[in-house]
Every structure is written in structure tokens, then in C-alpha cells.
């Protein structure tokens, strides 16, 4: 994995394989706090669920079963007294459906991972960490570009993550 380019409150990282994606997700997970909202965006098959799986396993257990919540809409996990909510909104038709699924409870104090956050519209809090996953054109099938863009509560943590990701990439 290597760091590609940096901007203020934004980082681009290349994950060569799914194991790199899981390592990167683990670094982010260890920086997450209750109340955080992490928006995972990208096309179908871009690695959103793989990222979420790595994130959740970093805070629970390496063998934790982490299925995609595509059909259940949400899966919850307990990690050291914190609750992780993993939402997948691919199948919602109206952003208001998120309230029925329990998004308010998640926002109130959980660590919230959201796949397909663009389907939430105005319900997605402005202060969140945006993580975009994409397969760079001409790259290996397992390679992903992961772009982080920070909301206000993540700005300082993103700077720390930049350093940690650079150190991890050099290891």
C-alpha cells in the first residue's frame, strides 16, 4: 500500500489487495469515537463491505462474522462497550426510510458505517468522514484507491491518520 496524494482534510491511499484494505480500515477504526458517522461510497464491487468488515473486525475480533447488510439494512456489533452500526442503503427508495431502520439511534451514540450514503440525502450529517473506494482504471483487479475527506470532527484525526497510513505504507 502506498500513499498517493494529500490535500488539506483529504488523503488518497492505494490498497493493492483486500488485506491492505482491511489494514487501512483497522487504522481508521482505532481512531473512531462514539457518535462518528463514516460514509462509505463507491460503485458496486468497489470494496465498501470489505472496508466495513476490516473496520468491524479491528474493533471486535479477527474472526467476527460480518455479512453485508444489503438485505437486512443494518447489522450491529458490540465492541468494548461501544455499538457499531453497519448500514447498507442500496435498497432504500426514500431517505425517510432510514428513520424506520434506526439511524437516529446510531447517530445518537454509536459508531455508524454507512454504505451508499448518497441515498440518505439531507439525513446524512454534514460532519462525517467520507471514504470513497474505487478501482483505478488499468489497475489490478484487487487494487483500490481509497479517498478520505474529513468533516470538522475528523480534521485533526485525519492528520494523525495521514501519518499512521504513511508509516504503515513504509513498513
The pTM (predicted TM-score) of the whole model is 0.88
Number of domains within the chain: 1
Q: What per-residue confidence (pLDDT) applies to 45?
A: 83
Pairing of strands 111-115, 82-88: parallel
| Low-confidence stretches of the chain (pLDDT beneath 50) | 1-8, 170
CATH code of the domain containing 128? 3.40.50.300
Q: What per-residue confidence (pLDDT) applies to 1?
A: 47
User: For residue range 56-70, what is the model confidence (pLDDT) as tens digits?
Assistant: 999 998 988 898 888
Q: What per-residue confidence (pLDDT) applies to 50?
A: 93
Domain of residue 126 covers 2-170
User: For residue range 27-58, what is the model confidence (pLDDT) as tens digits?
Assistant: 999 999 999 999 999 998 888 999 999 999 99
Amino acid at each position: 500500500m502506498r500513499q498517493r496524494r494529500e490535500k488539506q482534510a483529504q488523503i488518497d491511499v492505494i490498497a493493492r489487495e483486500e488485506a491492505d484494505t482491511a489494514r487501512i480500515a483497522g487504522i481508521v477504526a482505532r481512531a473512531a469515537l462514539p457518535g462518528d458517522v463514516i460514509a462509505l461510497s463507491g460503485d458496486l464491487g468497489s470494496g465498501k463491505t470489505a472496508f466495513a468488515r476490516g473496520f468491524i473486525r479491528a474493533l471486535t475480533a479477527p474472526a467476527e462474522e460480518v455479512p453485508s447488510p444489503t438485505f437486512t439494512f443494518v447489522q450491529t456489533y458490540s465492541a468494548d462497550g461501544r455499538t457499531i452500526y453497519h448500514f447498507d442503503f442500496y435498497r432504500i427508495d426514500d431517505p425517510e426510510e432510514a428513520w424506520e431502520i434506526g439511524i437516529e439511534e446510531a447517530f445518537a451514540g454509536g459508531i455508524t458505517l454507512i454504505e451508499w450514503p448518497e441515498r440518505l440525502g439531507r439525513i446524512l450529517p454534514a460532519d462525517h468522514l467520507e471514504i470513497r473506494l474505487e478501482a483505478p482504471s488499468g489497475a489490478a483487479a484487487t487494487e483500490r484507491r481509497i479517498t478520505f475527506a474529513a468533516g470538522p470532527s475528523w480534521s485533526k484525526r485525519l492528520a494523525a491518520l495521514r501519518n499512521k497510513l504513511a508509516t504503515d505504507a513504509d513498513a
